[in-house]
Amino acid sequence: MPIEIKMPALSPTMEEGKLAKWLVKEGDSVSAGDILAEVETDKATMEFEAVDEGTVARITVEEGTEHVLVGTTIAVIAGEDEDPEEAKSLEISEPAPQSPEPQKAEEKAADAAAPVEAEPSPEPVARSESEERIIASPLARRLAKEKGIDLATVSGSGPHGRIVKADIDSAKHGPEKADAAKSAGKAPDAAAPKIEIAQDTKALLDERVPHTVEKLSGMRKTIARRLAQSMQQAPHIYLTVDIQLDKLLALRSEINASLEPQGIKVSVNDMLIKALARALIDVPECNVTFAGDELIRYSRADISVAVSIPNGLITPIVSDASGRTVSSIAAAMKDLGQRAKEGKLQPDEYQGGTASISNMGMMGIKQFTAVINPPQSTILAIGAGEKRPWVMPDGDLSVATVMTATGSFDHRAVDGADGARLMAAFRNYVEAPLGMVV
């Protein structure tokens, strides 16, 4: 029997992906472990390996195809002693067989509309996404299901942002193929000259200003959706402290000197990750998720670290950062940061975390406020360490290296006093850094 190669679920919550690149072509022989293709999910590009041996008889999904549903057959491989030509003609099974029974189809449409709900996941991130109700017309839901379009990635043009048929039609065709979207079901609109631009974009466009229009990447859509959700749903409070860094810098020099033989270099940020994690253990009220009627308290501090990557941002996680040594954190961050920039992180390496840290000090930002990374309740925004006039404990004015840190807290879950205690604990660890390494 020829083997149908299906779109893999590369993470527990993955439902569809972009077939970014084929690394084999028809006629190639492959063996187990060979990389067949690169698959792009909303945040990362992953390699997809062959598990069987054989000859690639047919590639059924071209590279560059977006929204390929998990389970869709993307290629057919002929086994060792099979004729690839024969395998080529293998009838391909559909990922979700269409039911002629309308009631049943309806139920399925409902499943598609709230995919994550149907699949409980231990990932807090996934859980928060499932809480977003997607408003879409019954017809739009059914069409999206049929075309394999994730409604969460479609922006609605109906009343109150409701997703309607026209939105699915334009999502289906994408901007580059929008000519075909002038389907029978649409009112003639011959007067519109720039047909390839989506209706929503058109409404915002000022033709007088020179411009280009580009399609959003999956990552950009995810960032947009999650940050908008955070600002809309979580009332943010911001607590700012100035923190003296001299002792931490001195300790870092000592640590780096002692670790030099092992080739490990600890950054200030690695130490701040550790300090935040320790502070969260000390003030567990900030290490929580607001879950509507309930509150989730985490007893371990997994720190999501914002890393800027080309065209976006990703938050690899340093798990159990309070229990780890700073050298271990440094090693982990070096690896995660590197792979994040290459787009090679596994989903479980960036989905989750119990609190976040974002450091813009290296860009000379003195102070900023960050948007909470849902469903977490705490994010720390770190400004640049700089020499400032500083009043010493004895009352003398001196010069010290100081940074400004601002915590953003989900005020539904975290009271101001708890946030203040977290900021104080964080400052204490940074200003008396021996406390966090011993």
Partner 1 sequence: MSDQYDVIVLGSGPGGYVAAIRCAQLGLKTAIVERERLGGICLNWGCIPTKALLRSAEVFHYMQHAKDYGLAAKEIEADLDAVVKRSRGVADKLNQGVTHLMKKNKIAVHMGEGTLKSPTSIEVQGEKGAETISARHVIVATGARARDLPFAKADGERVWTYRHAMVPKEMPEKLLVIGSGAIGIEFASFYNDMGADVTVVEMLDRIVPVEDADVSAFLEKSLKKQGISIMSGAGVEALDVGKNHVKAKIKGKDGKVEETEFSHVIVAIGIQANTENLGLEELGVELEKGFIQIDDYGRTGVDGLWAIGDCTPGPWLAHKASHEGVTAAESIARELGNSEVHPHALDRRNIPGCTYCHPQVASVGLTEARAKEEGYELKVGTFPFMGNGKAIALGEAEGFIKTVFDARTGELLGAHMIGAEVTELIQGYVVGKTLETTEAELMNTIFPHPTLSEMMHESVLSAYGKVIHM
Cα 303 to Cα 128, 360, 390, distances in angstroms: 18, 16, 30
Q: Nearest distance from residue 273's CB to partner 1, in Å?
A: 43
Q: Which of 189, 207, 293, 394 binds partner 1 (CB under 8 A)?
A: 189
User: Looking at 83-91, 187-195, 227-235, 266-274, which segment touches partner 1 (CB under 8 A)?
Assistant: 187-195
- Binding pattern to partner 1, positions 100-129, x when CB under 8 A? --xx-xx-----------------------
Q: Nearest distance from residue 166's CB to partner 1, in Å?
A: 9
41 Rama sector, left if φ>0, alpha if ψ -120 to 50, beta otherwise: beta
Q: Nearest distance from residue 161's CB to partner 1, in Å?
A: 10
Query: Which one, of 189, 124, 192, lies nearest residue 353 by Cα?
Result: 124
Q: Which is closer to partner 1, CB of 77 or CB of 168?
A: 168
Q: Which is closer to partner 1, CB of 139 or CB of 216?
A: 139
164 binds partner 1 (CB under 8 A): yes
The DSSP bridge partners found for residue 236 are 410
Contact predicate 112/104, CB 8 Å: no
Q: Nearest distance from residue 149's CB to partner 1, in Å?
A: 13
Q: Which is closer to partner 1, CB of 123 or CB of 169?
A: 169
- Binding pattern to partner 1, positions 137-156, x when CB under 8 A? xxxx-xx--x----------
Query: Is residue 411 annotated as part of the catalytic site, yes or no?
Result: yes
Residues 6+ apart with CB under 8 A from 261: none
What CA–CA distance (Å, rounded) separates 259 from 263? 7
**Cis ω before 374 (30° cut-off from 0):** no
User: Looking at 52-60, 180-188, 212-220, 344-352, which segment touches partner 1 (CB under 8 A)?
Assistant: 180-188
Element (H, E) at 113: helix 102-113
End-to-end CA distance of the chain: 61
- Helical residues (DSSP H) of 234-373, grouped into ranges: 246-259, 268-282, 326-341, 347-350
Q: Which of 184, 257, 397, 438 binds partner 1 (CB under 8 A)?
A: 184
204 binds partner 1 (CB under 8 A): no
Helix (H, G, I), strand (E, B) or coil at 277: helix
Give me the residues that bind partner 1 (CB under 8 A), please: 102-103, 105-106, 137-140, 142-143, 146, 159, 164-165, 184-185, 187, 189, 191
Question: Which residues are catalytic, by number?
Answer: 411
